[in-house]
C-alpha cells in the first residue's frame, strides 16, 4: 500500500547486494565480543518477504516537539545539557543516491563526559541531569534529517588493557516495516581515537571507515551557538554504509 497522503509505492523488487570486501569480517578477534557473537556456520542470504517490505508506516504525529533536540528534550525547564553544542544533519539515501523519505531515525549517545545514562555504565565520568542521550526524527521528502545535541565524549571500555571508544553517535534507521531496521555509528572528523579503536580497525578498507566519519561543516554552523557535522547514510548497494546488525547484506 502507498503511504498515507502519497502516491509513492513501496519498493518490492530485489535489492542490490553488498560488496562483502567493503564490509568488515564478522569475526574480528581484537574486538573480543565478536568472538562470541560471530556465526559459526556459513551465511545464507534470503530474499525479502512481503511482510518485510510492507507494514506499519511511521507517522510524524508520533514525534514529540523536542525529540530531535537532545540539548533540551531531557532538561529541566530553563536549563540545557552541558557540552559542545552541535548540529548533526544529512540525508538517508538508497543505492541509487535518491533520498529516502519517511524513514524513522533514532539516535543515542554518551554525554559530553563520555558516560551513558544506563545503570550498568560504570565509567567514573559524571552524569548530566539535563541530558538523556537519545532522540528521534523522520526524514523529509528529500531524505533529509537534522538534530541538535552535544558532542559525546570518548570513554574507556574493557576490551583490552587500554582501549577507548572514540566520540560517536549510534543511529537506528527504520523503514516502512518493523523488520526493516539497520544500525550504525557516526564518528567525528579529526578524532585521533578513531584509528586506535579495535571496532573500527575491524573494517579493512580505509575508505569504508571514512564513510562513517561526519565532516565538519562550518557553513552550516550557528554562530555563537553550535557547530555542524554532515553525515549521509546509504542504506543499500555496493557502497552502503556499514551497519552493525546486517553484515550479510540488506
Instruction: List residues with catalytic annotation.
Output: 116, 155, 165, 168, 170
User: Per residue, what are the HEC states of 99-155?
Assistant: ECCCCEEEEEECCCCCCCCCCCCCCCCCCCCCCCCEEEEECCCCCEEEEEEECCCCE
Q: Among 240, 230, 239, which residue's Cα sits nearest to residue 87?
A: 230
What region, left, alpha or beta, does residue 29 occupy, with left being phi > 0 and alpha being psi -120 to 50 degrees?
Answer: alpha
Which residue, 125, 98, 116, is CA-closest to 8? 98
Which residues make beta-bridge pairs with 91? 144
Which residue has 518493523 as its cell numbers? 178
- d(C-alpha 60, C-alpha 25), whole Å: 37
Amino acid at each position: 500500500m502507498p503511504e498515507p497522503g502519497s502516491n509513492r509505492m513501496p519498493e518490492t523488487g530485489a535489492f542490490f547486494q553488498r560488496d562483502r570486501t567493503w564490509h568488515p569480517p564478522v569475526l574480528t578477534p581484537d574486538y573480543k565480543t565478536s568472538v562470541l557473537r560471530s556465526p559459526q556456520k556459513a551465511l545464507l542470504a534470503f530474499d525479502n518477504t512481503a511482510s518485510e517490505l510492507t507494514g506499519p508506516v511511521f507517522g510524524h504525529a508520533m514525534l514529540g516537539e523536542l525529540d530531535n533536540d537532545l540539548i533540551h528534550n531531557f532538561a529541566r525547564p530553563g536549563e540545557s545539557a552541558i557540552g559542545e553544542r552541535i548540529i548533526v544533519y544529512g540525508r538517508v539515501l538508497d543505492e541509487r543516491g535518491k533520498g529516502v523519505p519517511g524513514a524513522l531515525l533514532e539516535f543515542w549517545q554518551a554525554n559530553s563526559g563520555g558516560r551513558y545514562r544506563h545503570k550498568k555504565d560504570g565509567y567514573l565520568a559524571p552524569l548530566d541531569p539535563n541530558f538523556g542521550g537519545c532522540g528521534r526524527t523522520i526524514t523529509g521528502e528529500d531524505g533529509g534529517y537534522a538534530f541538535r545535541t552535544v558532542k559525546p565524549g570518548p570513554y574507556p571500555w574493557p576490551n583490552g588493557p587500554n582501549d577507548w571508544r572514540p566520540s560517536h553517535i549510534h543511529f537506528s534507521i527504520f523503514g516502512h516495516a518493523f523488520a526493516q531496521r539497520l544500525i550504525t555509528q557516526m564518528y567525528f572528523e579529526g578524532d585521533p581515537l578513531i584509528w586506535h579503536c579495535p571496532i573500527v580497525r575491524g573494517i579493512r578498507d580505509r575508505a569504508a571507515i571514512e564513510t562513517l566519519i561526519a565532516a565538519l561543516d562550518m557553513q552550516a554552523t550557528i554562530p555563537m551557538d553550535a557547530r555542524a557535522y554532515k553525515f549521509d547514510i546509504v542504506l543499500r548497494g555496493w557502497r552502503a554504509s556499514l551497519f552493525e546488525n546486517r553484515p550479510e547484506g540488506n
